[in-house]
Amino acid sequence: MALIGFSMLKEKILYGNKRQTIRKLRKTPIKRGERLHLYYHLRQRDCESLGSWTCTEVFYIRMFSLSHVIEAVDLVGECGLIVLHHTMTEEEVLNLAKRDGFNTTEELFTALDKMHGSQNGKQIFQVIRW
């Protein structure tokens, strides 16, 4: 069971327009088949449950914000060795942005930079779909 909090795009989650989230890699990554409990303003006074779903897919990415490049990567072994799977095409990145509730790749990169700072390839993220 995983709790996932959101501070924006609440309506898109409720109406099913947002069916994934991109998160910094957790100590214990979320796995396919795990139950996800989504909340708006988690751990705040106005916390609201958005529902629960089963995780249908997970994969890992590394982002290069300055050039708007996203690489799909594999994590190998306990040490988490990063192996490049492939560099995502512009179409794949746009699809990723739209599934995450954004209209453009620019909106996606702006939001992620605001939340996590410009990591520019230094941070691995997990894409979690439900």
Least confident among 4-8, 20-24, 109-113, 120-124: 120-124
The string over 46-85, giving b where at least 16 C-beta atoms fall within 10 Å of a residue's C-beta and e elsewhere, is eeeebeeeebeebebbbbbbeeeebbbbebeeeeeeeeee
Phi and psi, residue 91, nearest 5°: -65, -40
> Residues near 79 by Cβ (< 8 Å), separated by ≥ 6?
none
- Domains, the chain, in order of start with CATH, read 2-129 (2.30.130.30)
pLDDT at 78: 61
pLDDT bin (cut points 50, 70, 90) of residue 36 is: very high
